[in-house]
Structure 1
Amino acid sequence: MAEQKFDEIDSGAAGVKSAELGKEMRTSFLEYSMSVIMSRALPDVRDGLKPVHRRILYAMYDSGITPNRPHSKSARTVGDVIGKYHPHGDFAVYDTMVRLAQDFSMRVPLVDGHGNFGSIDGDSAAAMRYTEARLAKPAMELLRDLEKETVDWRPNYDESLQEPEVLPARFPNLLVNGSNGIAVGMATNIPPHNLGETIDATCLMLDNPDVTTEELMKVLPGPDFPTGGIVMGRKGIIDAYETGRGSLTIRAKHKIVEGKNGKSSIVITEIPYQVNRTNLMQKLGELIREKKLPEISNVHDGADRNSPVDIIIELKQNAIPQVVLNKLYKHTQLQVGWGVNMLALVDGVPHTLSLKEMLFHYIKHQEDVIIRRTRYDLRKAEERAHILEGLLVALDNIDEVIAIIRGSQTDKEASAKLIERFNLSEAQTAAILEMRLRRLTGLERHKLEDELKELREKIAYYKQILSDEVLMRQVIKEELQEIKNKFNTPRRTLLSAAAKDLDMEDLIAEEDMVVTVTKAGYVKRLPVATYRQQKRGGKGMQGVNLKDNDFVEHLFVASTHSYMLFFSTAGKVYRLKVYELPEASRHARGTAIVNLLPLAKGETISAIIATKDFPEDEFLMFGTEQGMVKKTSMSLYDRTRRDGLIAINLKEGDSLIAVRRVKRGEKVMMVSSAGKAIMWDEAEARAMGRDTMGVRGMTVPGDVKVLGMEIAKPDTELFVITEKGYGKRTPVSEYPEHHRGGQGVFTITMTEKKGLLTAMKVVREADELMIISEEGVVIRTPVEDVSQLGRSTQGVRVMNVAEEDKVTAVAIATDSTKEKSSEDSEDAETDFEQLESGDVFVDEDADGEDVDEDFESSEADQ
């Protein structure tokens, strides 16, 4: 029944129109889209204003609420705007008006607000009935010459009034104050700029229309945000200026205040544009509560009348401010990305504009304004000159004029007689009839003549402007410079040439870390202050709590930002950064290295090199258990793969035992478990590729293996130690230099009591030895405390080793407090057996003093 009634409806009935739904939707949406684009969201390229901004400024101008008048209630202006020109919500209009008055939103505020107009903290403005406003002085430059027919006008929404389609805009407001808005299917985001710099760029283009973007950037280097900050890098600016699209990175400005007891504070003095300060402080509090910023002890508001932005971030003792800043940049809005999209209306059509195109359209608008203003001024001057000429004719014949007037019955009759007698126009006769008697004096006549002379000069000047494009452009330049002199302010935003994309390394403090790797394959890093120095013969302290049959095999010191090259017994190399290694306490075993590196079954780490770069003129020397060696340029290892790279090809049954950095002219020393040592020049091994086997470095019998390979530098000594802790040092100069491939000479006399030779090291007297046992006990003793003996002696007790324990590895800690030559410093290596840090392995209490008690029996070890 319902369907029947619906079918009976006459589609032609009054008020009912038949239409296809899809077509109607498309038409309606297109109309809505164009309305939003044209009338709400996008600025005009000529004056940089959206319709609501333009209507607010014009309504205040039309009502006389100018800078030389008292402030007027904001509600009055809002009422005028929505009643006369903008039939939308009053709160929307008021919010727009508020923004025009905010010095943290507008680079050059256009409204002078009186009262609470909001804050950078995100506080909203007071209600419009409480606040007052008037036009700011710079806004008058946008409206200047409006009454001189410089722009087109159109009816308002009810056609009862006229409103300007665009303002004369005597400075490039679109660039100066920027704009942002979201239309339908498009958006604009134009950053603000410095007024003086923008005017200079405009003048530069007036002088040379073919100026390049690079030349423009010499006077307009980049955006200038009202809240200051730092723009990182030039690439985003160049992209935006050349294409209309770019991505900026904006950072807050800060200063670091040094406090007492090693504590510092970071004071944030400026924050990025459009960042809410209150939300920023709340985010900081959340990060501190969530332990994501453990270096920060407190954050509080330091804002006052003189410093309205200051946020004071107090750091804990010994926290590194730059690392904390990098974390803040990473996790908070102290660094933000700002996408530039310079979209504006050109002749009512949206266009993405480059800097040159934006200035071109502005200059074109100014030329049109000057031409129309000059035509208006010319017409007014000619009209006034015409009147003055008639008045002067009347004064020259005043008696006859008076007689004609007195003899006429009406004004019309007098006008006709004057026109007929003196050949005047109706306008001139009307002026004569209205002339006062005071004009008959000689002084008044002189004034009229001077005024006419001045007008004739102006008329000639106006005609010259209209006929001379160069002069017209000069007029534009002069007026722009006048505005610059009146309203220019210093640049607030700094421009940094270095683009800084934060990566993980920026969040890590650069400091020396101790890295340990156990025989079972557990790795960890911990600060160098964990261990302290002891005298020779000391018992050491427990460094690692280990599983049964596990012991520390590799120990070294390296910066957190260094690369770690892990060389495996299988001849492969893996690469990590030190900060990627897990950090743990002194007693923790660490993390299984198989969780960090894709090691094959049975593959273990045999050597580790720490380096920050990979120079082509430095080499890695490889040594294997069967005496093979290979020299390869470090530059060939400046790459990485998930499953590792081949570092050296090995014979079946052989394994890699040592990797050392070597320079030209250095000597290589190898020691075997049979107690023999051989020294040869590195040039004996020619440089080879990465995927090669190498050559014979030392010949060893089948039951003997090579213990280690070191670089023997001048004035160094060879230190060797047995399983039971007996060792000695012998000058390298006592060892004869051989060709590579020999068996070597004896370096120690071994006995059953002292055990087998277990480790070797090339040392200096200023060095200190780190000796590690299977049980994980670590002792540090100066090299000078170890007896210097000849090659064929037995050695002295260096470490008191427990009955079931034995020495497994030796490392060197170079004490930077002792004097070293610059050459020595340059030659120092940082691999798993060569430590390069001063005063390492020192425990400190809260006051920074050395702890004297023995840690092995302390409660902390329980």
Structure 2
Amino acid sequence: MGAMPDDFGQVEDLALGSALSERYLAYALSTIMSRSLPDVRDGLKPVHRRLIYAMHQLKLDPRSGFKKCARVVGDVIGKFHPHGDSAVYEALVRLAQDFAARYPLIEGQGNFGNIDGDNAAAMRYTESRLTEIAEYLLRGIDENAVDFRPTYDGEEQEPVVLPGAFPNLLANGASGIAVGMATSIPPHNAGEVCAAALHLIEKPEASTADLLNYLKGPDFPTGGELVEDEAVILNAYETGRGSLRTRAKWHKEDGKHGTWVIVVTEIPYQVQKSRLVEQIALLLTDKKLPLLGDIRDESAENIRLVLEPKNRTVDADMLMAALFRATQLESRFSLNMNVLDSGRTPRVMGLKALLRAWLDHRHEVLVRRTNHRLEAIGRRLEILDGYIKVFLNLDEVIRIIRFEDKPKEQLIATFELTEVQAEAILNMRLRALRKLEEMEIRNEHKKLAAEQKGLQALLKDESKRWAKIGAEIAEVKEKFGSGALGARRTKISEAAPVVEIVAEALVEREPITVILSEKGWIRAQKGHLSDGADLKFKEGDRLHTLLPCQSTDKIALLGTNGRVYSIKAADVPRGRGDGQAIRLIVELANEDGVLTLFVPDPAQKYLVASSSGRGFVLAGSELVSERRAGKIILTLKPDEEWALCVPANGDHVAVVGQNRKLLVFPLEQLPEMPRGAGVQLQKYKDGGLSDAKVFTLADGLSWTIGERVRIEQKLTEWLGARAAAGRLPPSGFPKSNKFG
């Protein structure tokens, strides 16, 4: 047993806070750098890089046979990645799923799961090998293109990063949650990424907007449609952060006798189809999608979700707008391009910085591969030089080898050879001594010398290097940016117009009658009831307002406190009971009453007035409020109430006061305002306003007595200016002082 270290058994006092923070920081850094964030150069996390490298070592290239995934996972865990087998296998499966990865790096054989969210078969049943894309990522790995480091047990070497001839980070995207940071990069079209990279090589000062002329936006493996403004997309790629709205792709299919269905053929990325169908079915059961009649999943290899409308009169765009709002047929992809840069530092990068980092990596790989090749050429040329010297003096070489005690030293001395050349000559086979071989050696020497000269010129000239990198990227663009794999799948559209579907799509349209009692109880019954309908109320209560309307209407409730409240007709409790207290639906104080209840017309203008006779003209669009507390329309003084709201159709106003004086004046003398105290309609010594009416002077002023309507044409003596006192009305005017 060896000697104990001097500090063995010593106990060091540490504050718990500092010890915890130090250890947690170490864990956080480990998670960020060795688990969750991809490298900007090859777009891979360590587990993916180790999987691909292990499969490369197993020679699982696209031209070889498949091997069991269990074998691959075993190699990854045993050699490189000391984590659980299920985590490694899940990473392998994801790289092989064509609905998860835009460009799969692994080709799977067997059950690798599906878009419904079903899991892959166990790794002992499935098999895998690398795809051509993965080969491009590995291209040059055996030519000193990248650095290697010892594995966790020090027995093997693993690459720090892959050479990355394929733009994997942007093409396949990445997502991960680290400690205190996360990443979420959408997949893109490889052809577009390469086109943007080529433009950046040509014009290094290009802006993000310039690059977006080539790279249009995300290209998800599941297709779908991106509905976002250009400005939003530009800002997201400029800053590296943003939120992009994606939608399912759908079309309308006509059936017999005017029937039709909607067929969804592509769904948003990372949405499980079975969950989506379940979500829609649940909302359908809960009657939250009244425009939808049924949903069927008729998918086979391709997605086909059939949505049946409630009836053929339903508007297809309205139905889809309701579904987009309520379900995952529309989802948001959070863009957060957080990556480890070439110095292994986490950074949020914009599109240009990501492309620049990849190009710089490709440049470094090219220089390293060129130097590696030059060294190999140098070694071979040295040997070939030795061979050429030998072929001029073959007999002497044979004599030295046969008869000298130390042939190697003698060869070096006689022909001025290097150690390497002498060793190579001694190892030559006899068959290589024929005359034909000399010609082949000279040809090889000439060819390698020319290659050496070309590579040295490449290292001296940066423009030649970038031209070569451009040619490599163009090759990738040609190979993976066209055909079935390279064709763009996600449609890029303008931001979708907002379809107002709050009432129409969430409520089934039907006729109802809203009943409000004097004591403030509100309820609704199906159908349009007549004024003489038999209605029951609580003892001592009676009818206040009977309002026939549609279930999709928004009702305006005018309070005597000068406020307007909006009530959705669909929210009014149904049934033959007493209903619900209006004060539980809107914030109406006990001392405030209800003036009236009606469905306002946004295109109509209204005359509103207080009990003291102050008023103004109001646009119908103002009679709406999104707040339970309502919106102030009439600013009231103490002891005033909102007394009147009548349609302002005509050119004159007739006002009658409680003092039974009638005044007629032009409507244009009243201001039109959205809210306020208004102006005086009529002057009173005592009392206030009784009633008012807007009418057309040429048609005469009408009022109702019982069932009879009387029209007064001669109104000259009552005509005056606003705020005048007025005169007693014509004989026959109702004793109620109301126009009826």
TM-score, normalization by structure 1: 0.71
After alignment, is 432-441 or 148-157 more displaced?
432-441
1:520 maps to: 518
Task: Identify the residue that residue 667 of structure 1 maps to in structure 2.
Answer: 651
The equivalences for 1:347-362 within 5 A come to: 347-362=343-358
1:275-300 per-position Cα deviation (integer Å, ceiling 9, x unaligned): 33333333344444444445544333
Q: Report if aligned partners of 2:208, 2:351 keep a CA contact under 8 Å in 1.
A: yes
Contact kept, 8 Å, 1:720 with 1:728, in 2: the verdict is yes
Match of 2:279 among 261, 283, 308: 283
CA distance in 2, matches of 1:230, 1:687: 46
Query: Which residue does the alignment assign to 1:542?
Result: 533
CA distance in 1, matches of 2:510, 2:333: 37
Tell whether the 8 Å contact from 2:511 to 2:527 is kept in structure 1 after alignment.
Answer: no
The CA distance in 2 between the partners of 1:353 and 1:510, in whole Å, is 48
Secondary structure (helix, strand or coil) at the match of 1:727 reads strand
The residue number in structure 2 matching 1:481 is 474
- 8 Å CA contact 2:617–2:648 kept in 1: the answer is no
Distance 1:341 1:612 in 2: 43
Residue 188 of structure 2 corresponds to residue 193 of structure 1? yes
Counterpart position of 2:487: 490
- Quick check: 2:613–2:688 contact (8 Å CA) kept in 1? no
Change in Cα spacing, 1:465 to 1:545, as seen in structure 2 (3 Å) is: farther
The offset of 1:124, in angstroms, is 1.5
The superposition leaves residues 797-839 of structure 1 with CA deviations (integer Å, 9 ceiling, x where unpaired) of xxxxxxxxxxxxxxxxxxxxxxxxxxxxxxxxxxxxxxxxxxx
Q: Residue 127 of structure 1: SS of its match in structure 2? A: coil
Q: Is the 8 A contact 2:559 2:596 kept in 1?
A: yes
CA contact (8 A) 1:418 1:429 kept: yes
Distance in 2 between residues matched to 1:503 and 1:20, nearest whole Å: 66
In structure 2, the CA distance between the partners of 1:225 and 1:751, relative to structure 1 (3 Å rule), is closer
* Matched letter for residue 634 of structure 2: A
Q: Does 1:81 align with 2:76?
A: yes
2:645 is matched with 658
Matched ranges for 1:332-731 at <5 A? 332-346=327-341, 347-392=343-388, 397=392, 400-406=393-399, 408-409=401-402, 423-428=416-421, 434=428, 451-488=444-481, 489-498=486-495, 505=502, 508=506, 518=516, 520=518, 530-531=527-528, 542=533, 550-551=542-543, 553=545, 555=547, 560=552, 566-569=557-560, 572-576=562-566, 579=568, 582-583=571-572, 591-595=580-584, 596-599=586-589, 601-606=591-596, 610=600, 621-623=607-609, 629-631=615-617, 642=629, 644-649=631-636, 656-660=643-647, 667-670=651-654, 672=656, 680-686=665-671, 690-696=675-681, 707-710=691-694, 712=696, 720-722=703-705, 724-727=706-709
Query: 2: distance between equivalents of 1:175 and 1:410?
Result: 67
The letter of the residue matching 1:360 is R
In structure 2, distance between residues paired with 1:40 and 1:390? 51
**How far does residue 168 in structure 1 lie from its aligned partner after superposition?**
0.5
Cα distance per residue 1:678-731 (max 9 Å; x no partner): 76543333557843341436x7998996544225399x7866433x3223679x
2:202 aligns with one of 200, 207, 210: 207
How far 1:261 sits from its partner (Å)? 7.7
Displacement after TM superposition at 1:142 (Å): 0.6
Amino acid corresponding to residue 67 of structure 1 in structure 2: P
SS at match of 1:542: coil
State whether residues 113 and 121 of structure 2, in contact with CA within 8 Å, keep that contact through their aligned partners in structure 1: yes
Indicate the residue corresponding to 2:163 in structure 1: 168
CA contact (8 A) 1:263 1:319 kept: no
Q: Deviations over 1:101-132 (max 9, x none)?
A: 11121111110000111112222211222111
Matched to 1:206, the amino acid is I
SS of residue matched to 1:80: helix
Structure 1 position 51, deviation (Å): 1.9
Q: List alignment gaps of at least 5 residues for structure 1.
A: 1-10, 533-538, 761-862
User: Which one of 141, 145, 150 corresponds to residue 145 of structure 2?
Assistant: 150
Aligned to 2:265: 269
CA distance in 2: counterparts of 1:100 and 1:278, whole angstroms: 22
Cα distance, 1:136–1:740 mapped onto 2, change above 3 Å: same
Q: Quick one: distance in 1 between partners of 2:521 and 2:648?
A: 22
1:782 corresponds in structure 2 to none
Partner of 1:44: 39
Q: Is the 8 A contact 1:696 1:740 kept in 2?
A: no
Distance 1:676 1:240, change over 3 A: same
Structure 1 counterpart of 2:464, one-letter code: L
Structure 1 stretch displaced more, 483-492 or 65-74: 483-492
**Structure 2 unmatched runs, 5+:** none
CA distance in 1, matches of 2:403, 2:568: 105
Tell me which amino acid in the other structure corresponds to 2:278: Q
CA drift at 1:367: 1.6
Residue pair 1:229, 1:251 contacting (<8 A) in 2 also: yes
- Alpha-carbon separation, structure 2, partners of 1:96 and 1:686: 71
Q: Contact conserved, 2:550 with 2:569, CA < 8 A, in 1?
A: no
Aligned length: 721
RMSD: 4.7
Asked if the contact 2:695–2:701 (Cα under 8 Å) also holds between the matched residues in 1, the reply is: no
Rounded to whole Å, the distance in 2 between the matches of 1:670 and 1:750 is: 16
- Superposed, which structure 2 residues align to 1:51-200 within 5 Å? 51-200=46-195
User: Percent identity between the aligned chains?
Assistant: 32
Displacement after TM superposition at 1:86 (Å): 2.3
Equivalent residue of 1:106, what SS?
coil
Post-superposition CA distance 1:264-316 (Å, at most 9, x none) = 544433333323333333334444444444554433321112x2x33334343
SS of aligned partner of 1:376: helix
Give the C-alpha shift of residue 322 in structure 1: 5.1
**SS across alignment from 1:148:** coil
SS of residue in 1 equivalent to 2:402: coil
Question: TM-score w.r.t. structure 2 length?
Answer: 0.81
Distance in 1, Cα, partners of 2:701 & 2:535: 28
What secondary structure is seen at the aligned counterpart in 1 of 2:371?
helix
Q: Per-residue deviation at 1:45? A: 2.2
Q: What secondary structure is seen at the aligned counterpart in 2 of 1:218?
A: coil
- Paired with 2:253 and 2:225, the residues of 1 have a C-alpha distance of 19
Counting only pairs closer than 5 Å after superposition, residues 25-36 of structure 1 correspond to structure 2 as 28-36=23-31
Contact 1:141 1:170 in 2 (8 A): yes
CA pair 343-630 structure 1, distance change in 2 beyond 3 A: closer
| Structure 1 counterpart SS, 2:360 | helix
Structure 1 residue 69 displacement after superposition: 0.9
Displacement after TM superposition at 1:141 (Å): 0.7
Q: 8 Å contact 1:619–1:634 — kept in the other structure?
A: yes
Over 3 Å counting, the alpha-carbon distance change for 1:590 and 1:430 in structure 2 is same
Which amino acid is the alignment partner of residue 356 of structure 2? F
